[in-house]
Structure 1
Amino acid sequence: MRSTLIAAALAATAFVASAHAEVASYSIDPSHTFVTFEVSHFGTSTNRGRFDKKEGSIQLDKVAKTGTVALTLETGSINTGTAAFDKHLQSDNFFNSAVFPAAKFVANSVSFNHDKVSEVAGQLTLLGQTHPVVLKASNFNCYTNPMLKREVCGGDFETTLQRSQWGMGWGINLGIPDTVKLAVQVEAVKQ
């Protein structure tokens, strides 16, 4: 009887452990992932841009409702649609791409609302400084991609930053706002 109880307890422990060990790895699909920013231009219009070169990975355990994210942006790949503006943003007035060629977001906290990711909390490293950032999800879904025949997960995430927190203060005294809206549209393919 005692050995039966021990065997049942071990089986239950193994079942619980396997239920919490369903970590899936995903690689960010750069053709369906865009990191964009918006900042007011002297209160008259909105300047927008994006980073064309990015890479990263996501780990999700949908059963345990945990995950991690690693996203790297090449700051020299900033694209506003205007070459002169791109060069200004790449200069030491803003992203200083020659010295800091990458911005990195690393998150070890992925929150779920039922079966959907609701926010991702992590650290953004920009201009050599690292500060916490929380990205709120406005959309999240997983589906089987009909062309790849693999699961793809992703969504729309956004936050608002104070760029001066990372030492990017150029133009604030001229009326260019410190507040920047950051939007991340991401899709990642299960590996």
Structure 2
Amino acid sequence: MKKPFIAAAFAVFFAGQALAAPQTYAVDPAHTFPRFSYDHMGMSKQILRFNKTAGTVVLDKAAKEARVDVTIDMTSVSTGFEVFDGHIQGADFLDTAQFPQATFKSTKVVFDGDKPVSIEGDLTIKGITKPVTLTVTSFYHGPHPMMKKDAIGANATAVISRTAFNAGKFAPGVGDEVTLDIALEAVSE
């Protein structure tokens, strides 16, 4: 009588372990847009975005662990004005001819209960890597309403220095402090 009970207990334990395995999510490029804003000579807050982003998020909700690996196509910067897009891509700012991509790779994700609240990682822009902590302002994990697949969604923010990434032309007249505001959606692979 004890052997069938023990076998059943192991089966339940290992089935639970399989369900709690880390899940990989592919970034949805149609709903993932890193935006950034800065002070423009004290006259306005300019808000720009990148239109092409790729990457993965690995989430193990049971273990309260996650990894984020994102690549941003810096040539996809969108200012709303084509001439200014080219200006921002120049050597004094993003230098996309030499550095067409930026990356963010997490080193630690901090959870509060079931939800991530901050993501520490390495941000690389123009070949320069600096530690950055993203504050997660919203998080969703559940079925995608249209695709009927497991999905995640999040918004996160951080503040960085343009000059720290060798992109500080006209600072401080044009603000050195840049606010990152990232909207991300990803679907299970």
* TM-score (normalised: structure 1): 0.89
**2:35 is aligned with what amino acid?**
T
Partner of 2:183: 185
Match of 1:49 in 2: 48
* Residue matched to 1:58: 57
- For residues 108-144 of structure 1, the C-alpha deviation after alignment (integer angstroms, 9 at most, x for no partner) is 3111111111111100011111110111011001121
- Is 1:162 aligned with 2:146? no
How far apart in 2 are the matches of 1:146 and 1:44?
41
Q: Give the Å deviation of 1:21.
A: 5.3
Give, in whole Å, the separation in 1 of the partners of 2:108 and 2:63.
Answer: 12
- Cα RMSD, aligned residues only: 2.2
Distance between the aligned counterparts of 1:152 and 1:20, measured in 2? Answer: 16
| Number of aligned residues | 183
Letter in 2 for 1:131: K
Q: Which residue identity is paired with 1:101?
A: P
1:62-113 per-position Cα deviation (integer Å, ceiling 9, x unaligned): 0110111111011111001011211110000100000000000001311111
Structure 1: segments with no counterpart, 5+ residues: none
Q: What are the equivalent positions in structure 2 for 1:8-87 lying under 5 Å apart?
A: 11=10, 15=14, 18=17, 22-87=21-86
CA distance in 2, matches of 1:190, 1:75: 25
What secondary structure sits across from 1:88 in the alignment? Answer: helix
Corresponding position of 2:131: 132
How far apart, CA to CA, are the structure 1 residues paired with 2:110 and 2:27? 19
Name structure 2 gaps, 5 residues minimum. Answer: none
1:88 corresponds in structure 2 to: 87
How much does 1:20 deviate? 9.3
CA shift, 1:19, in A, is 7.1
Name segments (4+ residues, structure 1) moved above 2 Å. 14-21
| TM-score of the pair, normalised by structure 2 | 0.90
Which residue in the other structure is 1:107 paired with? 106
Are the counterparts in 2 of residues 96 and 127 from structure 1 also a CA contact under 8 Å?
yes
Aligned amino acid, residue 176 of structure 1: V
1:130-177 per-residue CA deviation (whole Å, 9 max, x = no partner) reads 11011101100112123211011011100000111111121115x111
1:117 corresponds in structure 2 to 116
Separation in structure 1 between the aligned mates of residue 115 and residue 86 of structure 2, nearest angstrom: 39
For residue 133 of structure 2, what is the amino acid of its counterpart? V
Q: Find the aligned partners of 1:81 and 1:18 in 2 and give their Cα distance.
A: 49
Q: For the residues of structure 2 that align with 1:182 and 1:97, how far apart are their CA atoms? A: 19
Q: Distance in 1 between matches of 2:19 and 2:77?
A: 40
CA distance in 2, matches of 1:18, 1:82: 52
How high is the sequence identity, in percent, across the aligned residues? 36
